[in-house]
Structure 1
């Protein structure tokens, strides 16, 4: 006889079905919780990614980096800002080892500096007028004209002439003693700033050649001298150079387009935007490979003033004779 079941008792089958239903319910609840956690996690990561992307986009649009024909360019100094002082140290190259070293002057600390605080815009305008007066006597047929007050070298057509001999009767009508005094004063201030930055004595540095005014426009190059845009290393081009400086006499985007100064580092091009009165200076070795962008419109004025540690390569300040 089959055993009788008591009321309310459960068979193994019915108990198994109930347990299975409860287990399935727990799985659904667990799956829902996990899904909710995963969704919250995804939302958090999406929010973080969005914030990071927005920050990067803002950084890019701020102008700290520009994407140009030469790749990514970091702007070290914008034309519209006035910098008291900025210095970026870079490792020295071995270029100085192939030349005689002068203790207390030959670079052991290398880098590049920028300041708008030692030459005023009013002084820069006065200095530019010196360049304009001198270059009115000549000028290159191509895009780059040079005026060297020290040697008298002046661009004239496709050649150079000695301004003091070629225009001897006009030189005193063109320049004044005050022009040359201002030029010397500016050179001394730049020399002192370089010496202070690199921890050397200004008396151990000597002005060296070539030191010159440049006027650049968008005229087609006629000779190799007009092709100013090629990358180069000052210490390789001019073995006497140890420290190079540039004093800008006109404003990027206002007086001319293009024509920025570009330090060419591995993986990045770092730019200085010219501003009247701005001084950019740097050690002259291959740690500071550089070039100037082509000028697209307008006219760019600057002075290159260079220094050596070797007294044998030193030159005196120009004088009006």
Structure 2
């Protein structure tokens, strides 16, 4: 604009005073225009988000019977389960064009035992955890809890029986105490503190200026990954559910935090039915049943000793990890 103005002044096509006036007016108009353009983009983003919310609200409410005759053994059983994500759902498969995400899945997760899900990325581990959590319904086959098809179980009752610790922990913009209390809203202060102690979180919480009344910020932004993970475990301990689902709970932690979180997990899973996802095979070596997944199918399953003797996928993964864990720089 300045270059054009200089050219016009030089050729006597415009007076300097007129040019200065346009500069002043232009500067006043420019900022509001930029803000307006930014607002248009935000409105479009909001419209897309609004459509997603409306689509979510239009989903049918999950229903189940409240008078189910639950058996004494609260095993979780996958029987001939097949599943594929819809186009607008998030698939973890590394081969999105295949006609299934899980195929012919048969697993018995006995009450009071640990079942480990291992395998390459995109093999279906997280999908099994989501199906066990009743986040999705199977396409065919069935999943039973205590002998009853989970599609017939009252969702509220079922979720009371499950505690989930995700890899990516989300904390609400509230106090630490209320974030732990989210596991059981009628918990007392003493019960919250006891759960935090078992989760190896009491010490760092007590060192904060306001202790358990410290605000954590949206998503827990004021805390480290290890601290958020321990609060999440404290929440699960407080809930005291008979089934615990762990999704790579220590994968993104430094060694010091990983030790603390492993201690907390040991306290959490004691005497419970546990389903755990892990890429670190040594952390699940003692599992009662290790399910090895590959491209949405079960390649093999059994104890560590059985799988090592099979010389299959598990032994190959174990040998690879063992080789790199022993790597040193000379």
Q: Same fold (TM over 0.5)?
A: no
TM-score by length of 2: 0.26
Q: Greater CA radius of gyration, 1 or 2?
A: 1
TM-score by length of 1: 0.27
Bigger RCO of structures 1 and 2 (CA < 8 A, at least 6 apart): 1
More strand as a share of residues: 1
More helix as a share of residues: 2
